[in-house]
Structure 1
Amino acid sequence: METHAPTWLIHTFIYLSAAVVAVPLSKALGLGSIIGYLAAGMAIGPWGLGVVTNVEDILHFAEFGVVLMLFLVGLELEPKRLWSLRRPIFGWGSAQVLGCTVAIFAIAMLAGASWRIALVAGMGLALSSTAIALQVMNERNLMRTGSGQAGFSILLFQDIAAIPILALLPLLGQTLEANTAAAPVNHAGEAIKIIAVIGGIVVGGRIAIRPVFRWIARSRAPEIFTAASLLLVVGIAGLMQLVGLSMA
């Protein structure tokens, strides 16, 4: 009887093989792991060897990988450390986001774009990839340096600023037609829902999640603690997706 390996297993083997070959090679050349991952993706993608042709199939897995990485970063953050960084977060962070937004907005306006398109471009391009930036800083051991703390503070503010920006985008995208008269009310409701969900997660984490994890820890079953951690990550990521935010 002829048997075949499942497609997902073959694809997983291909992804891991490409990463195992490309990333150490890239680091050996002094280019960093990010370049290695990009090279691996280009090599097996539709514009390379064509091993992977449907990119949409793996986007969700890739995004969830970023979610898990950011979850690990969050585990290493101490509330006292975050509180000590409040000034650089809201000082350097706000200066970077506002400065880049204004600069790109002005350039887009001079190029003939409408003010809405210019504002969306400015806000979007003012933000960077937290996952990539943190990976690079960790590889170069910059997290404990002054420049690393400044960069980390800016990244944190960008993540905070992304929430109101995402809530504002639907308002900027609405038309001026009469049948959209109720749009501001609907979008305001969406923004309130997003803020309420995030606030509920923060409050619930302090009131409910900590006692639950203490109770699980007392069972002295590491596999259940790991399962509970994954359940928490998957649950919050799914909730963010439901309210229209990125899982990351």
Structure 2
Amino acid sequence: MTYLEQQVLTQVKAIIGNEEQVIGRRGILIPLKKALINEADIRVLIDIVSSDPALAAHLLWRSNTAQAGGIISTKNRSIKDALIRLGQVNIYRYAFSFYLKERLDELKEPYSKLVKGYWALTESIAVDAVQHLRDIEESDQPIDIDADEVQTLALFSVFGQVITLSAFAFLNAASEKAISLQVIKTLIDTQQQSLSIEAFEALGLDDDLRNEFMIAHNIKQTDNANSAGMVLRHVLAKRNVLINPLSDIDS
């Protein structure tokens, strides 16, 4: 690693650890997280989520995408129905990804185009992951995997690249002299695993999400037949985007 790459890596990690800079608008996310941790009454959660109509609409839409994939038979018609079915972990994951996407939309070129490409990939992976879960269930395999857990996990499938590129954009905006995109490309190619895991920890995302992410990317192994990460691993392997590619024996 060159001296410049080491300097940039250190500064990127510092930015990744700054949740306010990475996420931006957190007026809803902070009280929502506190309410979820304290296992607040559903009415409290409804009030918090409903205070941001865009977030409420997003959660309702997300909660119904699994139904559209054929996993869930009853469509949620109210935010209360959606929140009850989603559960604490999925509510926060969806909300986090919503505000992250909102923040990414503020990036200037060329970062905006690059990040939008990653986000489009993420959404496509999420669709494929839910479909793969549907295929498994239709094959009558004895599994018990929540469709929203698969979908939320899939939304973080290229989390490291998105966060690192965003941090680099913020770094370059504050620098007197622009740093070449080749530097961040090299760091993403060589440091993707460590940057991804550090981002999960620094931004306070749940341990299960981080663990299933590692399973999905073949960094960690499991014998759990109900692992959402194993469902996602199949999709990531087909798209050739695993951090740790499968060996010929595994595939």
TM-score (norm 1): 0.27
Give TM-score, length-normalised by structure 2: 0.26
**Over alpha carbons, which structure has the higher Rg?**
1
